[in-house]
Amino acid sequence: MNPNFVIFTLINLISIILSVYFFFRLFEVNFNNILVSRSYSFIEPFLKPLRVFLPVVYRFDLSCLALIFFFKALAFFIFLSGSELDFTISDCLAWTGISVLLMFSQILRYGLFISIIGSWAFPGSNNQFLSLCNSVTNVLLKPFQKFTVFGGMDFSPIIVFFLLIQIDRILFNLKFSLGLPSLI
């Protein structure tokens, strides 16, 4: 097995964990949830030194976002360092930005999917993980629920899924038009 691939995978796992934490802060998820409080106690010591330069502005944790970008750029560099492809700093920054946006979209889609399945299979459940997914996705669904609730059926998840898929298409087309390698 290629050691660069293993390191690339581990760095991407770290960036996914940081992204989930970023969404906890962005959507102001209930701190009493055990998953949120544990992630806060684990990740916050790493972000505290960065907060001197990159504070939290309007619920956007800039230090966490900078760390996500750093890890994604590092993963790009490590993965391509052993290959024959030539890349520039602008290629690295473009790939990093597109990769972070695609990762955010995927996290939101998976959270929405889990929330939908959980509401069908376990209605009224007090499961910590399901309440966490609900609190993240309800922020996305709320603007569309004014127009998409008909006879007790909520069609807002369909619209949000459609919008997230369209965002992914735009990002993939941008990645293709820039000629970036397909690592995502």
pLDDT in tens, 6-15: 888 899 899 9
Q: Which residue has the higher pLDDT, 82 or 52?
A: 52
- What mean pLDDT is predicted for residues 37-57? 89
Q: What does the alpha-carbon distance between residue 93 and residue 102 come to, in Å, rounded to a whole number?
A: 14
pTM: 0.87
- Is the pLDDT at 140 greater than 80? The verdict is yes
Report which of 52, 94, 54, 55 is spatially closest to residue 73, judged by C-alpha positions. Answer: 94
Give the pLDDT band of residue 82 (cuts 50, 70, 90): low
Q: Cα–chain-centroid distance for residue 57?
A: 18
pLDDT for residue 15? 92
> Residue 52, SS3?
helix
The answer to whether residue 95 scores a pLDDT higher than 80 is yes
pLDDT at 171 > cutoff 80: yes
Q: What is the pLDDT of residue 182?
A: 65
Mean of pLDDT values over 92-111: 89
Q: How far apart are CA 51 and CA 138, in angstroms?
A: 28
* pLDDT given for residue 22 in this prediction: 92
Give the span between the Cα atoms of 110 and 50, in whole angstroms: 29
Nearest to 180 by CA among 106, 88, 101: 88
